[in-house]
Homo-oligomer: A and B are copies of this chain.
Amino acid sequence: MSKQELPVVGQDVAECCPALLTAPLDEEQAEAVAKVFKALGDPVRLRLLSMIASRSGGEVCVCDLTPAFDLSQPTISHHLKLLRQAGLIDCERRGTWVYYWLLPEATDRLARVLTRPAGAPPADTADTAATAR
């Protein structure tokens, strides 16, 4: 399937873009961001995502992903579906196989969500300030 046919790829994170550390999230924002973090909160999905993202050429056949796991093809496909629903990857069927690639704007947005506001003290200082009481 082409990108054009996909309705909401990465939409959740796109809509939710406030930095987590700058101001309290409202319920709707929190729902949208949590959905993507939840997709990343599983070791098999993280390994799949890292295999897809780090592949030179930018895409991976599902036939090259499955052998790395002691899991059935349907289980792998289910995990890939959850990553896709979270807007982190996209895919296209070509003949027998489905090919997957990273949607880097989704991980970029998520990295921004976790980034501290400009002007925040460096981690060491902030940590010391908070704990040295």
Contact = CB atoms under 8 A, between A and B. Distances in A.
A35 to B, nearest CB: 8
Interface of A: 2-3, 20-27, 30-31, 33-35, 37-47, 49-51, 53-54, 58-59, 68, 90, 92, 101-105, 107-108, 110-112, 114-116, 120, 123-124, 126-127, 129-131, 133
A129 B102 CA distance: 11
Copies in the complex: 2
Contacts of A50: 20-21, 23-25, 30
A53 B121 CA distance: 12
A10 to B, nearest CB: 9
A34 B41 contact: yes
Contact of A37 (B31, B46, B103, B124): B46
Given A20-B50, A21-B53, A123 B111 contact: no
Contact of A104 (B2, B110, B127): B127
Classify the secondary structure of A's interface with B. Answer: helix
A59 B126 CA distance: 11
Contacts of A102: 21, 126, 130
A40 B112 CA distance: 15
Most buried by B among A38, A40, A107, A110: A40
